[in-house]
A and B are shown apart, each in its own frame.
Chain A
Amino acid sequence: MSAPAPAPLLEVRGLKKHFPIRRGVFSRVSGYVRAVDGVDLTLHPGETLGLVGESGSGKTTTGRCILRLLEPTSGSVLFDGVDLLSLSGAQMRRMRRQIQVIFQDPYSSLNPRMRVGTIVGEPLAIHRIAKGSEREHRVADLLVKVGLDPIVMRRYPHEFSGGQRQRIGIARALALKPKLIICDEPVSALDVSVQAQVVNLLMDLQEEFALTYLFIAHDLSVIEHISDRVAVMYLGKIVEVAEAERLYRDPQHPYTRALLSAVPVPDPEAVSNRIALKGDLPSPANPPSGCAFHPRCPVAVEVCPRLEPRLLDSGGGHLASCHLVHPEAVPPM
């Protein structure tokens, strides 16, 4: 599953999204929130890339920029060789047949006034793929695929539990047979026992339809479970990328280490080796100089506030942006 394929399906290069901060009567721009500040990502066909980070790290904004639900400030997003950022609105809408999204909150992402059949069939209607009884057949098939009885087509979202609603959202995302699905915290609103059902469903569907997932989440255990590779975000930047198993066994960036050490383990006998971080997440409107993590880093050295580290390979596709991991990249004083 994790063998790198020759041509990537998605290639994100230097992606930036800066939100202007407006002040005063004339809404003068007084600064920018650097929500996403130079992100590079590569997704190979059939793989799941986990994108993990704490709130405010820019992971959701990254997902939305790839879909152009938000217009990126700069960078490029190559999907199957086509730069999505150069497409017109109409071209982009056509492209969205191949890139779908599953949202976090199954309560707000389904229109409460629509019947389930209409919700799941809407992509087919918008893209004029099927109508009438054919559409109905396709919707019924999709509902079966996600483990729902086709009879639910006549019902409304409020009649369903969170897990069932998320299944409806997944059926809608599958309707157009996309290649890539951006899953934005798809299980974080669900209870553990239901979360497991949805994670399993996503893995089964991936196998059946050869799907590629960008799986955005803050839960490190879920990310580990579902991902082939994992990218860790901090303050708008990727700080580490590696194969899932390797990242969790041998994290290199001090932030990844601290993050992993803070996850509460469901074992009362476990010894806590928690690495404490100083202070709170800095504001992305005014990120620290050099390495953005240096004010909180337990092992920061003299060079860290001066020079921004680059995301460099330590071998085998394990990338980390830290001067301590890559001292060879620090120019001599």
Chain B
Amino acid sequence: MSWSADSVNQVARRASGSLLQRALRLDPVLLGLLILLSGVGAMVLYSAFGNRIEPIQNHAIRLGAGFALMVVMAQIPPWRLAPAAPWLYVATLVALTTVFLVGEFGGGARRWLEIGPVRFQPSEVMKLALPLMIAWLVARGTLPIKLGKSTIGLLMIGVPAAMISVQPDLGTAVVVAATGLIILFLAGASWRSILALAAAISAAAPALWIFGMQGYQRQRVLTFLDPERDPLGAGYNIIQAKIAIGSGGIFGKGWTNGTQAHLDFIPERHTDFVFAVLAEEFGLLGVIMVVALYGAIIARALWITYGAQDTFSRLLAGGLTLTFFLYSYVNMGMVVGLLPVVGLPLPLISYGGSSIVTLMAGFGILMAIHSHRRMWSA
């Protein structure tokens, strides 16, 4: 059975009555939660910037661009997106290769690619291209996924992840890889193969430690294991973040009253460590509120995933949702000291970065999946 324009219109009409849904195909609940979180983020950033408004304006512009892209992406129905997946994946891979080669032979590390006036990071695009590709690949067969297809999937994941990691951008590489792996996991990859992969990674870890990691990366892991080992050097960030969080107490020091943040004790407080600023100024209550917001966004996205009507959409939505979770968790876990320091921003709160745009594009896809449902019960 193939989809017709009629059925599409039917979906649109039958969707609930809001203008956002009908005309823009946006999910009002998800949109509201995203705006709320962005607002909280902007407040925290304002304080982290020492009560300066200009950076917040820049931040708002970038957020605006993200939301705009979200709206655009929401218009593309999944059945249009799916066929484009392999092409997008291949094109992004080519772009990555180009960046890799330029980096290799052009001297110095590079992440950016310029095509005419357009300047973009292939690794960012890969964050979307890879889940699209894997979801497309998996959806072509039957579930649960067979071992052979899993292996192909692993290859498709491994190649771009490796290229990104040598940029070097280990954080993004891990996230990109995780996105793909999550989809394989959702596709029902057998526990035996999951365990086998985990075993392979553990076995490769020493090799990765010696050959795959930069000095500073090894340092980060060591420091994570014992931050007081080097309290003025690598451990400084972790210790100061811990002090900031702990001294916030249950109710926090109050907005713009965080001494750790305002006296420059928290390093990278507008980017990777913004969560510490939040915890210091808004206390445990603020933390619970923000974690609850993330939880709500993820819950809504999962609800959309549950409601997705085909395997491709379902896997894609699940992959995007869990990636968003992974982002927020890795950052918060790092700041509170559950994970080693990896340079990942806190989604929708950290300042700057092109990742926010990619992230919003992902939410656009989620909304498209939701708003372009077919009504089977019609």
The answer to whether A and B belong to the same complex is no
Partner-A contacts on B (CB < 8 A): none
Partner-B contacts on A (CB < 8 A): none
